[in-house]
């Protein structure tokens, strides 16, 4: 038996969609199923329309599906909007009073059942129980998940929610559902994790000591996770008065010897570009996460996009080396964040991690254990590493471009740092020769930095045509390749996560044998395609671009590519 079904839970913000989604996801996890889930919501706290769409499978899934098998509509609007997405044999499960007299609708009085069982605020739990019953999930597992999930709120709350779930579970009675399947308790296939949490954990695994930020969707979750963990760690999380302050705070903390990061979205990153340059010229390592959303300006606060790649590469005036990464999954986000801290400190440069709303807010299963180092390597020198500390020069010229980095007030070595162009000792200078030497010194790091970059990951690399993308679209692109291959098209893909310094040689190698390659990106001008052209002189033959603020469905990509095959 092969399972691959999608359930959409729709309703107004504030109706408890998240809680229903979380219960579904955790029941799946406990039954050894794979899943991935997207969160779609508006920029509001109450009302409007939101949904949580979970894809459940017995094989790994890393992208949402375009069609659904079961629609749990917590309000009428959700039914009206999404009924058309149901596959043949799919059904809608909805509140009795909202339900139109139509086929394929199971109407349950969620609200009345909630009042009788767990209290009126538990109608979402009634709905969760009904939904899982239809899918064939055993109540024992639901009981475990609810008991664990509400434990911190006290026995009484657990009891009420269990009663509500039970009432919902029993309400569907013996109704048979075409897509129901056999569930059994089993070992989880991995940990359930979204991009936000993965980045926060990656920062902890890199010994991040200080994080400053200004709230901005979809980056705030990262800082919320860090703040909730901070008590256990030598870590301070500070909410700054604005993004300009946030980036300068982390530069100050890093200068003083604490690994530091910030997280924001495009608009906040715009404000940080001045600080990015300061990090560049002062060679102070920092990590900036830009969780992309559609822009420019405010754009769409709760939607997804991948349109800041060329901006990130070029942000700030003048030129200086920097790292740009774009992880393709939460597991990669964890690993990449830790690596960004390491590389930023090793090369004394800023590192930018580009994620997006889709990656940050979607749940994935990370199958492999997240690797946590026993020791975190640091690159700070002190008096004992120096021949003569009183002669210490922060910007001593070296072949690698990397000067030994000491921290202030930590011995006899005096540390002088300037955002003005400076001499080796750190004092400002307007000398033509010094200026040239310092630009060359900073740029000299690029070759070392490039050697630390991972090549793009390939899937069916020998194929006639290759799809190419970056960051969070990896799962959807790989699945699109599978669809295309099933349809007889000899396709593979190339997924980039390490973007700057650009791995040009590896990129040329990846596209060496294909006849054509096509870009798949969430921006309107194929930014990676343009970058590849600039860096390798290779031209893409077409592009499937989506910039409506919603994540790619694999079938959309496959359909887009097929248009080029005609």
Partner 1 sequence: MVNIKDYDSDVENKWCPGCGNFGILAAMKDALAAQGIPPEKILIISGIGQAAKTPHYLKCNLFHALHGRALPLATGAKIANHELTILVNSGDGDCYGEGGNHFMHAVRRNIDVTLLVHNNKVYGLTKGQASPTSDEGMITKIQSDGVLSETFNPLSVALALGAGFVARSFSGKTEHLSKIIQEGIKHKGFSLIDILQPCVSFNSVNTFDWYRKRVYDLFEEGYIPDDFNKAMELSRMWGDKIPIGIIYQKEKPSYTDKIKKLIENTLISGKYSQEKVRNAIESL
List interacting residues with partner 1 (CB under 8 A). Answer: 191-193, 197, 201, 204-205, 207, 209-210, 212, 229, 231-236, 238, 240-242, 244-246, 248-258, 260, 274-275, 278, 282, 370, 372-376, 407-409, 411-420, 426-428
CB of 432 to partner 1, least distance (A): 17
Choice between 350 and 560, CB closer to partner 1: 350
CB of 147 to partner 1, least distance (A): 17
Report the alpha-carbon distance of residue 235 to residue 245 in Å, rounded.
18
Choice between 420 and 525, CB closer to partner 1: 420
CB 467 within 8 A of CB 557: yes
Choice between 185 and 372, CB closer to partner 1: 372
DSSP 485: H
CB 356 within 8 A of CB 471: yes
E-strand ranges in 178-298 read 191-194, 210-213, 236-239, 260-264, 286-292
E-strand ranges in 253-402 read 260-264, 286-292, 323-325, 350-356, 363-366, 380-381
CB of 316 to partner 1, least distance (A): 11
CB of 191 to partner 1, least distance (A): 5
CB of 455 to partner 1, least distance (A): 27
Choice between 205 and 510, CB closer to partner 1: 205
Sheet with strand 86-95: strands edge to edge:
105-108, 86-95, 68-73, 4-13, 47-57, 34-40, 363-366, 191-194
Report the alpha-carbon distance of residue 431 to residue 421 in Å, rounded.
9
**Residue 495, beta-bridge partner list:** 457, 469
CB of 38 to partner 1, least distance (A): 19
Give CA angle at 215 (209, 218), nearest 5°: 100
CB 388 within 8 A of CB 412: no
3-state secondary structure of 459: strand
Choice between 431 and 490, CB closer to partner 1: 431
3-state secondary structure of 467: strand
CB of 252 to partner 1, least distance (A): 3
Choice between 71 and 198, CB closer to partner 1: 198
What burial class does residue 131 get, using C-beta atoms within 10 Å of its C-beta: 0-12 exposed, 13-18 middle, 19+ buried? buried
Choice between 91 and 203, CB closer to partner 1: 203
Choice between 260 and 561, CB closer to partner 1: 260
CB of 282 to partner 1, least distance (A): 7
Give CA angle at 134 (130, 136), nearest 5°: 115
CB of 347 to partner 1, least distance (A): 20
Choice between 160 and 394, CB closer to partner 1: 394
């Amino acid at each position: 038996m092969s399972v691959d079904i999608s359930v959409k839970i729709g309703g107004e913000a504030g109706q408890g969609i998240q809680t229903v989604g979380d219960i579904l996801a955790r029941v799946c996890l406990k039954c050894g199923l794979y899943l991935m889930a997207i969160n779609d919501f508006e920029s509001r706290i109450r009302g409007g329309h939101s949904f949580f769409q979970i894809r459940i499978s017995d094989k790994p899934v890393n992208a949402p599906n375009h069609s659904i098998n079961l629609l749990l509509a917590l309000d009428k609007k959700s039914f009206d909007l999404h009924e058309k997405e149901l596959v043949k044999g799919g059904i809608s499960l909805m509140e009795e009073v909202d339900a139109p007299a139509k086929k394929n609708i199971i109407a349950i009085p969620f609200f009345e059942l909630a009042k009788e069982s767990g209290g009126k605020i538990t109608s979402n739990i009634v709905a969760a129980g009904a939904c899982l019953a239809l899918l064939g999930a055993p109540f024992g597992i639901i009981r475990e998940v609810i008991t664990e999930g509400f434990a911190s709120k006290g026995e009484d709350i657990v009891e009420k929610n269990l009663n509500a779930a039970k009432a919902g579970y029993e309400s569907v009675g013996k109704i048979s559902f075409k897509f129901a399947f056999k569930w059994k308790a089993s070992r989880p296939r991995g940990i359930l994790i979204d991009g936000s949490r993965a980045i926060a954990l990656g920062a902890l695994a890199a010994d991040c000591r200080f994080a400053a930020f200004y709230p901005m969707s979809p980056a705030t979750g990262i800082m919320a996770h860090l703040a909730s963990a901070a008590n256990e760690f030598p870590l301070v999380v500070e909410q700054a008065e604005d993004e300009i302050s946030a980036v300068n705070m982390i530069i100050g903390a890093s200068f003083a010897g604490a690994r530091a990061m910030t997280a924001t979205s495009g608009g906040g990153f715009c404000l940080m570009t001045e600080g990015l340059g300061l990090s560049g010229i002062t060679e102070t390592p920092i990590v900036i996460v830009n969780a992309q959303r559609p822009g420019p300006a405010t754009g769409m606060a709760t939607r997804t996009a991948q349109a800041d790649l060329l901006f990130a590469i070029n942000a700030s005036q003048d030129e200086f080396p920097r790292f740009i990464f774009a992880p393709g999954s939460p597991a990669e986000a964890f690993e990449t964040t830790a690596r960004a801290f390491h590389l930023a400190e090793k090369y004394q440069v800023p590192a930018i991690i580009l994620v997006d709303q889709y990656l940050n807010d979607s749940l994935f299963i990370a199958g492999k254990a997240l690797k946590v180092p026993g020791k975190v390597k640091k690159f700070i020198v002190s008096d004992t590493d120096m021949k003569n500390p009183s002669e210490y020069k922060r910007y001593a010229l070296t072949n690698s471009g990397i000067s030994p980095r000491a921290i202030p007030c930590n011995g006899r070595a005096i540390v002088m740092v300037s955002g003005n162009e400076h001499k080796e000792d750190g004092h400002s200078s307007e000398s033509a020769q010094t200026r040239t030497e310092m630009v060359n010194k900073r740029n000299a790091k690029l070759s070392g930095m490039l050697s630390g970059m991972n090549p793009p990951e390939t899937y069916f690399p020998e194929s006639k045509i290759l799809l190419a993308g970056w960051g969070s679209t990896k799962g959807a692109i790989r699945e699109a390749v599978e669809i295309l291959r099933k349809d007889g098209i000899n396709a593979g893909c190339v997924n980039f996560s390490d973007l700057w310094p650009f791995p040009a040689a590896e990129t040329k190698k990846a596209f060496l044998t294909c006849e054509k390659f096509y870009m798949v990106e969430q921006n309107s001008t194929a930014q990676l395609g343009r970058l590849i052209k600039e860096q390798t002189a290779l031209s893409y033959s077409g592009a499937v671009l989506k910039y409506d603020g919603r994540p790619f469905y694999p079938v959309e990509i496959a359909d887009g590519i097929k248009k080029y095959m005609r």
